[in-house]
């Protein structure tokens, strides 16, 4: 059934009948009156709505996004965003098209759902709409978009249930989470499993938290520690290790669809995208507050962590642009959809992307909400950016401030006059000719209420001014700012361009995108009125203070002041400068030769220092790395798109969040950084009911193989219900209370009796809960591709521990326009680093481990599948990589244990399984070594389930 066919139902509810003017018990299908001169809503129209049309969600009025019994919905936003009813225009109203059957696929009501409207009823609706669709406010209905879905409700701080009868030696209630687990088990007639054996638990912790096997020394250290807090010290050790960040960063990179190539047909590699990967690893190892982790990834450029915004552009990007405007617009929409989808699923656990073309079919998310979120990211683009550390940024700012102060000194020196020029005579102490970037006009202190800057001639087109600064003699600060109470007027403003508005002349923002342009070619004036008369002595102005544009420059100008806005006195003008040269041929310091000897010496000294500082800034910039972490621009206007079609724009949409959850209070023209920072702080708020729940659920999912909600990126109505909702809220509350510390959350889980249970199956429990949803044991699971490879290298003794930096490639790249990737046939030590450091090429997989359900970063993967295929077994047994590693392991066994086969086998078991072989295992292993050699035994060891599983 098509989407619109779902919108209408034959629904007769008491609430609708009352809105229609019918009381319960009245005839629900009264005879339709013939059209009258003036159609009445209650008498003529709402009975038709009640009898034939209701909403896209049927009787669930709270989650209905399209309501014909609510005025603002019927005349406002329909399922596709457009209003179903357009007052005065029945032919243009979608409702008439639906009920008249002009499109059989969108017929309302559907033919299988009830009786269609007759011609007389359709005529009534037509006439009512054409007459203006009069709808009194007292019959408007409730427009509040609400939901009773659990994940949108405030987090509840539940008390762990008292269950003392379950406290025993095998399952002591060490954590509040144990109470919740034990209670659910008891309610379902189940009991917890006994504790895991000590060595098994040690291996579980290392494999789970590091993705590596514990070494014999690590195992022995814990086994020999008889103190009551031996296990607690183990947890502290694994959380303090940098291997923790390497392991858990891989989980996060799956969720945020991180890859290091563009994808699509050209699939070019991104050699400098790794900065984001290293940022994630370091953040986890440093136990950065999850709240701060969120803010940095959405607005790292604002808070001084540039590499964090690699989150935004970590996904695929279509480099091939088309001259076809339709394709170009669609490509941009797909980019923005990626930002919205990844952000909403990662942090909120909501599929907001489903509202791109129409209102969400399950969750209270309007199509307008989708585009409001899209507007947040309207200034984000794929690309590279310099990664300024806080230290380097501070160094640059200091150098630039010093340079700016010297420049002001130079301008004062250049402007000094020993004698005032006679009429018609040009002073030899003229200021430098006008500069598009910045100019200073100084004059004797004078009291004024108004200052006017008049442009008489430009080098081209209408004049442009980027921030007019006026400095007070007494306050020594810019008093022209609107924020200081000053107001601006002008001779006329450039029309219909948000970059060039009068308000930009004194808003404190610099650059071409925040400037004023006159509406007259070659001339114009702009005027600043102060809150009160003030003594001023200096004006600073420019065409583009960032130095990117030099057209529209005022080359003939006058600066005048007034106390009443009527009588004006000139205080400075372009006549005090050297004449403008079109080619700028005059050297920067040519004015020095026209100064007195003392002033010339001072100017030369200042110029030399400015030159030195510029060179130092340039050297500093050359040391700053460039990373693929996105570029930012002034956001374009965002419009809601009818059915998601770029060629069907509707009304302008302001940046905001989900209607059902409140508002960010942003203006339509809010700057890019403001938008992203406001969204980040809203997501990271302790009052957001989704954020902490989503992250707690993710961490739980990776510890136990299944989340409390088994759809980790969808906590909406189409996701699964939580198995332990009270536990989820209890952990979410504690996470926030503990400063959003993820290490606290890990520690709480790892120290619990729930986590320490044995993984052995029990027939009684399997009969009731085969999937171990209720956690009556620790659920065993196979390691992921990366952990398997890392453990193989660790066992062979070839694991390269080098952390961070550029990744290693397992492909040879043919870098044509379209990049082609060919798997390596020979491996060097540089390829034996942990797999988290492998350059993640989209659409390509490592020949050996890619078959272990390894995602390629093409889309967000919150939960990897775990398939079992013949190719997996063949790769682990017979691939060139595994044959080489088996050989390296055999060499290690010989070097450590000599030539005694039994010693070699015992050491191998200790390395791979943290235990000694049984007599039967030893006998079989000796027979294998004797018959086929030590390398064959090593291949068998690397393929053992015990080696490949967390249990």
In 196-273, which residue ranges form alpha helices assigned H by DSSP? 198-210, 216-223, 230-240, 242-255
Contact in structure between 555 and 580 (CB atoms under 8 Å):
yes
- Reduced to 3 states, what is the DSSP secondary structure of residue 788? helix
Question: Which residues sit opposite 457 in a β-bridge?
Answer: 556
Residues 6+ apart with CB under 8 A from 814: 820, 821, 822
Say what the pLDDT of residue 143 is: 64
Contact in structure between 926 and 901 (CB atoms under 8 Å):
yes
Say what the pLDDT of residue 170 is: 74
Taking the CB of residue 899, how many other CB atoms lie within 10 A of it? 8
Task: List pLDDT tens digits, range 354-405.
Answer: 999 998 999 999 999 999 999 999 999 999 999 998 899 899 999 989 988 9
Mean pLDDT computed over 871-885: 94
558-597: burial string, b at 16+ Cβ within 10 Å, e else = bbbbbeeeeebeebbebebbbebeeeeeeeebebbeebee
Task: List pLDDT tens digits, range 491-508.
Answer: 999 988 889 999 999 999
Question: Pick the residue with more confidence: 525 or 78?
Answer: 525
pLDDT band at 488 (very low <50, low <70, confident <90, very high): very high
Q: How far is CA 786 from CA 241, 369, 420, 579, 746, in A?
A: 18, 38, 79, 68, 21
pLDDT tops 50 at residue 274: yes
pLDDT tops 60 at residue 587: no
Contact in structure between 358 and 320 (CB atoms under 8 Å):
no
Say what the pLDDT of residue 423 is: 39
pLDDT tops 90 at residue 441: yes
Task: List pLDDT tens digits, range 601-660.
Answer: 888 899 889 889 989 999 999 999 999 999 999 999 999 999 999 999 999 999 999 999
Question: Pick the residue with more confidence: 34 or 402?
Answer: 402
* Distance, CA of 49 to CA of 458 (rounded, Å): 65
- Reduced to 3 states, what is the DSSP secondary structure of residue 551? coil
* Distance, CA of 306 to CA of 390 (rounded, Å): 10
* Distance, CA of 485 to CA of 472 (rounded, Å): 14
Q: How many residues does the chain have?
A: 951
Residues 6+ apart with CB under 8 A from 298: 309, 311, 312, 343, 676, 677, 679, 680, 683
Of 308, 316, 357, 365, nearest in space to 338 by CA: 316
Min mean pLDDT across 122-131, 178-187, 738-747 is at: 122-131
Of 835, 827, 826, 833, nearest in space to 800 by CA: 833
Say what the pLDDT of residue 164 is: 65
* Distance, CA of 640 to CA of 653 (rounded, Å): 6
* Distance, CA of 228 to CA of 205 (rounded, Å): 18
* Distance, CA of 482 to CA of 939 (rounded, Å): 75
Taking the CB of residue 801, how many other CB atoms lie within 10 A of it? 11
Of 904, 698, 891, 934, nearest in space to 798 by CA: 891
As a whole-number percent, the residues of the chain with pLDDT over 70 amount to 88
Task: List pLDDT tens digits, range 550-567.
Answer: 899 999 999 999 999 999
- The single residue listed with the structure tokens 């302008």 is 652
* Distance, CA of 640 to CA of 435 (rounded, Å): 43
Mean pLDDT computed over 258-279: 96
Say what the pLDDT of residue 62 is: 37
E strand or H helix at 450: strand 439-458
* Distance, CA of 461 to CA of 898 (rounded, Å): 87
pLDDT band at 26 (very low <50, low <70, confident <90, very high): very low
Taking the CB of residue 227, how many other CB atoms lie within 10 A of it? 8
* Omega before residue 109 within 30° of 0, cis: yes
* Distance, CA of 927 to CA of 920 (rounded, Å): 11
- State the Cα torsion 651-656-658-660 to the nearest 10°: -90
φ, ψ dihedrals at 100, nearest 5°: -85, -10
Taking the CB of residue 53, how many other CB atoms lie within 10 A of it? 26
Say what the pLDDT of residue 45 is: 78
pLDDT band at 4 (very low <50, low <70, confident <90, very high): very low
- Reduced to 3 states, what is the DSSP secondary structure of residue 820? strand
DSSP string for 86-144:
-TT-TTT-HHHHHHHTSSGGG-SS-TTTSPPP-HHHHHHHHHHHHTT----GGG-----
pLDDT tops 90 at residue 58: no
Question: Which residues sit opposite 626 in a β-bridge?
Answer: 386
Mean pLDDT computed over 873-901: 95
* Omega before residue 347 within 30° of 0, cis: no
- The single residue listed with the structure tokens 């030399």 is 608
Mean pLDDT computed over 223-227: 94
Contact in structure between 488 and 505 (CB atoms under 8 Å):
yes
Taking the CB of residue 557, how many other CB atoms lie within 10 A of it? 25
Question: Which residues sit opposite 917 in a β-bridge?
Answer: none
Task: List pLDDT tens digits, range 644-696.
Answer: 999 999 999 999 999 999 999 999 999 999 999 999 999 999 999 999 999 99
* Distance, CA of 396 to CA of 411 (rounded, Å): 22
Say what the pLDDT of residue 364 is: 93
Contact in structure between 122 and 96 (CB atoms under 8 Å):
yes
Task: List pLDDT tens digits, range 72-118.
Answer: 667 766 566 567 888 888 888 888 878 877 767 667 776 665 677 88
Say what the pLDDT of residue 69 is: 66
E strand or H helix at 471: strand 469-472
Here the tokens at position 602 are: 């001072």
Question: Which residues sit opposite 610 in a β-bridge?
Answer: none
80-117: burial string, b at 16+ Cβ within 10 Å, e else = bbbbbbbbeebeebbbbbbbbeeeeebbbbbeebeebb
Report the half-sphere exposure of 885 (CA within 13 A, side-chain side): 30
Here the tokens at position 628 are: 């693929």
Q: Is 390 exposed, middle or buried (0-12, 13-18, 19+ CB in 10 A)?
A: exposed
Of 288, 316, 311, nearest in space to 299 by CA: 311
Contact in structure between 467 and 527 (CB atoms under 8 Å):
no
Residues 6+ apart with CB under 8 A from 347: 294, 683, 690, 691, 694
Contact in structure between 277 and 258 (CB atoms under 8 Å):
yes
Say what the pLDDT of residue 1 is: 35
As a whole-number percent, the residues of the chain with pLDDT over 90 amount to 72
- Reduced to 3 states, what is the DSSP secondary structure of residue 381? strand
pLDDT tops 80 at residue 55: no
Q: Mean pLDDT across the chain, nearest whole number? A: 88
pLDDT tops 90 at residue 145: no
* Distance, CA of 686 to CA of 736 (rounded, Å): 7
Task: List pLDDT tens digits, range 417-432.
Answer: 443 343 344 445 688 8
Contact in structure between 543 and 553 (CB atoms under 8 Å):
yes
* Distance, CA of 72 to CA of 81 (rounded, Å): 12
Task: List pLDDT tens digits, range 698-724.
Answer: 999 999 999 999 999 999 999 999 999
Here the tokens at position 138 are: 């007292």
- Greatest mean pLDDT among 56-60, 474-478, 524-528: 524-528
Contact in structure between 865 and 853 (CB atoms under 8 Å):
yes
* Distance, CA of 3 to CA of 465 (rounded, Å): 52
* Distance, CA of 418 to CA of 883 (rounded, Å): 88
């Amino acid at each position: 059934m098509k989407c619109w066919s779902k919108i209408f139902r034959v629904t007769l509810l008491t609430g609708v009948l009352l809105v229609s003017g019918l009381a319960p018990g009245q005839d629900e299908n009264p005879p339709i009156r013939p059209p009258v001169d003036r159609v009445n809503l209650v008498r003529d129209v709402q009975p038709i709505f009640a009898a034939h049309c209701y909403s896209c969600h049927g009787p669930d009025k709270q989650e209905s996004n399209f309501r014909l019994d609510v005025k603002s919905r019927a005349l406002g936003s329909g399922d596709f965003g457009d209003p179903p009813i357009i007052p005065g225009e029945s032919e243009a109203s979608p409702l008439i098209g639906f009920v008249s059957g002009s499109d059989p696929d969108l017929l309302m009501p559907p033919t299988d759902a009830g009786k269609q409207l007759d011609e007389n009823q359709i005529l009534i609706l037509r006439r009512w709409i054409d007459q203006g669709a009069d709808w009194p406010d007292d019959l408007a209905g409730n427009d509040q978009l609400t939901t009773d879905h659990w994940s949108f409700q405030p987090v509840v701080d539940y008390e762990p249930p008292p269950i003392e009868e379950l406290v025993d030696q095998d399952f002591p209630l060490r954590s509040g989470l144990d109470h919740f687990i034990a209670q659910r088990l008891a309610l379902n007639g189940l009991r917890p499993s006994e504790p895991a054996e000590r060595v098994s638990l040690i291996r579980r912790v290392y494999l789970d938290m590091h993705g590596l096997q514990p070494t014999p020394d690590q195992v022995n250290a814990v086994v020999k520690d008889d103190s009551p807090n031996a296990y607690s010290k183990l947890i502290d050790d694994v959380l303090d290790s940098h291997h923790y960040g390497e392991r858990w960063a891989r989980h996060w990179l799956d969720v945020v669809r991180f890859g290091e190539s563009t994808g699509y047909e050209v699939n070019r590699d991104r050699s400098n995208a790794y900065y984001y990967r290293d940022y994630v690893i370091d953040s986890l190892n440093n136990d950065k507050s999850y709240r701060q982790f969120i803010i940095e990834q959405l607005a790292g450029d604002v808070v001084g962590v540039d590499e964090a915004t690699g989150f935004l552009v970590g996904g695929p990007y279509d480099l091939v642009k088309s001259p076809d405007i339709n394709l170009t617009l669609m490509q941009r929409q797909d980019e923005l959809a990626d930002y919205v989808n990844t952000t909403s699923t990662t942090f909120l656990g909501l599929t907001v992307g489903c509202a791109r073309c129409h209102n969400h079919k399950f969750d209270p998310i309007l199509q307008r909400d989708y585009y409001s979120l899209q507007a947040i990211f309207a200034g984000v683009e794929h690309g590279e950016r310099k990664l300024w550390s806080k230290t380097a940024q501070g160094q640059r700012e200091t150098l630039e401030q010093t340079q700016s102060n010297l420049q002001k000194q130079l301008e004062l020196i250049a402007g000094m006059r020993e004698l005032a020029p006679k009429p018609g005579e040009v002073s030899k102490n003229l200021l430098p000719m006008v500069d598009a970037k910045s100019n200073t006009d100084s004059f004797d202190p004078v009291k004024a209420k108004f200052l006017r800057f008049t442009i008489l001639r430009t080098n081209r087109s209408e004049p442009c001014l980027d921030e007019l600064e006026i400095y007070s003699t007494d306050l020594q600060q810019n008093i022209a700012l609107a924020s200081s109470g000053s107001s601006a007027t002008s001779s006329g403003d450039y029309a219909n361009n948000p970059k060039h508005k009068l308000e930009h002349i004194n808003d404190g923002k610099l650059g071409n995108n925040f400037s004023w342009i006159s509406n007259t070619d070659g001339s114009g004036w702009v005027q600043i009125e102060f809150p009160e008369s003030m003594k001023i002595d200096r004006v600073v102005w420019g065409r583009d203070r960032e130095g990117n544009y030099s057209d529209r420059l005022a080359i003939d100008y006058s600066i005048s002041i007034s106390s009443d806005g009527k009588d004006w006195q000139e205080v400075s003008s372009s006549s005090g400068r050297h004449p403008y040269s079109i080619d700028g041929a005059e050297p920067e310091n040519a004015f020095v030769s026209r100064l007195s000897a003392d002033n010339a010496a001072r100017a030369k000294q200042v110029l030399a220092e400015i030159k030195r500082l510029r060179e130092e800034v340039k050297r500093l910039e050359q040391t700053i790395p460039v990373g693929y972490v996105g570029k930012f621009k002034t956001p374009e206007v965002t419009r809601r798109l009818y059915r998601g079609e770029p060629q069907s724009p509707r009304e302008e949409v302001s940046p905001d969040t989900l209607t059902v959850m409140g508002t960010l209070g942003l203006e339509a023209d809010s700057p890019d950084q403001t938008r992203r920072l406001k969204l980040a702080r809203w997501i990271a708020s302790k009052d957001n009911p989704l954020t902490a729940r989503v992250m707690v659920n993710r961490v739980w999912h990776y510890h136990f193989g299944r989340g409390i909600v088994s759809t980790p990126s969808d906590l909406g109505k189409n996701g699964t219900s939580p198995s332990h909702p009270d536990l989820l809220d209890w952990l979410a509350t504690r996470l926030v209370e503990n400063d959003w510390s993820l290490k606290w959350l890990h520690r709480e889980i790892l120290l619990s009796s729930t986590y320490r249970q044995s993984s052995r199956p029990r027939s009684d429990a399997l009969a009731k809960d085969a999937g171990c949803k209720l956690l009556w044991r620790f659920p065993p699971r196979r390691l992921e591709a990366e952990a398997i490879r890392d453990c193989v290298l660790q066992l062979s003794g070839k694991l390269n521990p080098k952390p961070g930096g550029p990744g290693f490639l397992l492909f040879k790249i043919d870098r044509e326009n379209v990049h082609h990737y060919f798997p390596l046939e020979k491996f060097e030590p540089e390829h034996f680093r942990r797999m988290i450091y492998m350059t993640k090429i989209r659409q390509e997989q490592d020949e050996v481990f890619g078959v272990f359900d390894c995602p390629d970063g093409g889309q967000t993967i919150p939960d990897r599948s775990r398939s079992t295929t013949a190719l997996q077994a063949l790769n682990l047994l017979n691939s060139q990589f595994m044959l080489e590693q088996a050989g390296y392991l055999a060499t290690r066994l010989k070097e450590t244990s000599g030539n005694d086969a039994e010693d070699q086998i015992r050491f191998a078991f200790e390395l791979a399984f943290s235990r000694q072989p049984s007599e039967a295992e030893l006998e079989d292993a000796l027979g294998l070594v004797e018959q086929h050699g030590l390398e064959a035994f090593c291949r068998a060891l690397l393929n053992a389930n015990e080696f490949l599983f967390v249990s």
